[in-house]
């Protein structure tokens, strides 16, 4: 089971006391190839122990038991390996840079406003919804990175999976054999089990109270680290960055989050006809497309020229105040949306409201 597949638990780690992490590394030099930067962990982080540094095997890690009697292991599900303790009951057991996930053990701490996770070849995932406080850095392997047969320490380039492991981009982990069960990103779904990533954005979100999401018939997604804004700027007029997303998917800009924060991998497209009914190809940029391709996202039914599919109506954003998803969305007529004659015939690849909103797959708590 992937670390990023479970529905949100607001109680498990939500009350955890943390002091925010110190930003590490300079995300401004992210390349335009994969949109990520991986500083040398050993050089950038001087720890009294080996916690959270890259490794080849557990002999590279701190074998001194903590108060629970737990030693560090080299967790090879992380690209390049990571020294960490895989069991904890409290954040105090995880060192100055760590946080305790009751399900997964000690992981590096992060927030959406810091680029901490980029140096670990990891993605920052929330412990609670909305993402109000801390999260943890969880594996985000790059399916396009070369395999590493040794030398787990980062050298400034993308880290590959160690030894004979391969990257499962839907789960983000280095594994012996990727799972092929479930539908790919962009496919309809009713629950996590329908998706290859085990992450489904449902048509109706019932985690806090019942509200439509605008993702008609559901939408399978996976998560990847958000590239730096400079990467998106460098790719204007070209294709969108893919980060660590599976082939055929892309990431969209999110100016409110730091590089390394979790963002969704949307189905790639070049026209609205490539997207399902109720979705459009978002190439960003308002009236003029900023990129050569885009991602299939729900239409903004309040946009000029918009129309919702038959059997649905437009629910404007101010009606669904406090929703986890932004913008005006098409909802089933029985969901009580406020109708509008405004319509999007899908002819525009215009501006996006697809900023990274925390969804059911962003929880990493136990």
| Residues 25-52: tens digit of each pLDDT | 222 222 223 344 333 333 333 333 568 9
Is the residue at 300 inside a domain?
yes
Is the residue at 54 inside a domain?
no
Beta bridge partners of 223: 264
Q: Does residue 282 contact residue 354 with C-beta atoms inside 8 Å?
A: yes
The stretch 56-83 carries a mean pLDDT of: 90
What's the pTM?
0.75
Is the residue at 115 inside a domain?
no
CA-closest candidate to residue 137, choices 155, 124, 121 = 124
The owner of tokens 């189905």 is 267
Q: Does residue 338 contact residue 319 with C-beta atoms inside 8 Å?
A: yes
| Residues 201-249: tens digit of each pLDDT | 999 887 666 788 889 999 999 999 999 899 999 999 999 999 999 999 9
The owner of tokens 């804004």 is 229
Is the residue at 111 inside a domain?
no
Domain total in the chain: 1
| Residues 134-184: tens digit of each pLDDT | 789 999 999 888 766 554 444 445 678 988 899 999 999 999 999 899 999
**Who's near 128: CB < 8 A, 6+ residues apart?**
8, 9, 10, 13, 14, 363, 365
Is the residue at 257 inside a domain?
yes
Whole-number Å distance between alpha carbons of 193 and 80: 29
> What are the structure tokens assigned to 49, written together?
């122990």
CA-closest candidate to residue 131, choices 110, 104, 106, 102 = 110
Is the residue at 145 inside a domain?
no
Is the residue at 211 inside a domain?
yes
Whole-number Å distance between alpha carbons of 119 and 267: 27
The residue segments making up the domain with residue 323 are 192-352
Is the residue at 233 inside a domain?
yes
């Amino acid at each position: 089971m992937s670390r990023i597949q479970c529905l949100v638990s607001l109680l498990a780690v939500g009350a955890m006391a943390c002091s925010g992490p110190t930003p590490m590394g300079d995300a401004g030099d992210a390349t335009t190839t994969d949109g990520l930067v991986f500083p040398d962990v050993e050089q950038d982080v001087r720890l009294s122990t080996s916690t959270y540094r890259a490794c080849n095997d557990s002999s590279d890690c701190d074998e001194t038991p903590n108060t629970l009697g737990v030693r560090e292991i080299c967790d090879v599900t992380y690209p390049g390996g990571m020294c960490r303790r895989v069991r904890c009951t409290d954040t105090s057991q995880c060192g100055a840079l760590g946080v305790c996930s009751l399900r997964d053990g000690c992981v590096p701490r992060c927030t959406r406003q810091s680029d901490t996770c980029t140096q670990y070849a990891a993605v920052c995932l929330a412990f609670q919804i909305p993402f109000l406080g801390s999260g943890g850095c969880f594996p985000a392997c790059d399916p396009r990175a070369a395999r590493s047969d040794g030398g787990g320490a980062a050298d400034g380039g993308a880290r590959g999976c160690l030894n004979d492991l391969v990257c499962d981009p839907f789960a983000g982990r280095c594994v012996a054999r990727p799972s092929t069960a479930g539908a790919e990103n962009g496919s309809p779904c009713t629950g996590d089990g329908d998706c290859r990533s085990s992450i489904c954005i449902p048509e109706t979100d019932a985690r806090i109270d019942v509200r439509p999401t605008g993702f008609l018939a559901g939408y399978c997604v996976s998560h990847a680290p958000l590239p730096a804004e400079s990467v998106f700027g460098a790719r204007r007029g070209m294709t969108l960055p893919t980060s660590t997303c599976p082939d055929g998917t892309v990431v969209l800009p999110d100016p409110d989050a730091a590089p390394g924060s979790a963002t969704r991998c949307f189905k790639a497209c070049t026209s609205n006809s490539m997207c399902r009914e109720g979705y459009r190809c978002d190439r960003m940029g308002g009236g003029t497309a900023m990129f050569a391709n885009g991602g299939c996202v729900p239409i903004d039914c309040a946009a000029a020229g918009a129309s919702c599919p038959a059997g649905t109506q437009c629910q404007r954003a101010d009606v669904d105040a406090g929703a986890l998803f932004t913008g005006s969305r098409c909802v089933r007529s029985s969901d009580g949306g406020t109708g509008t004659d405004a319509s999007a015939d899908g002819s525009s690849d215009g501006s996006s409201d697809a900023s990274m909103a925390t969804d059911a797959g962003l929880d990493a708590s136990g």
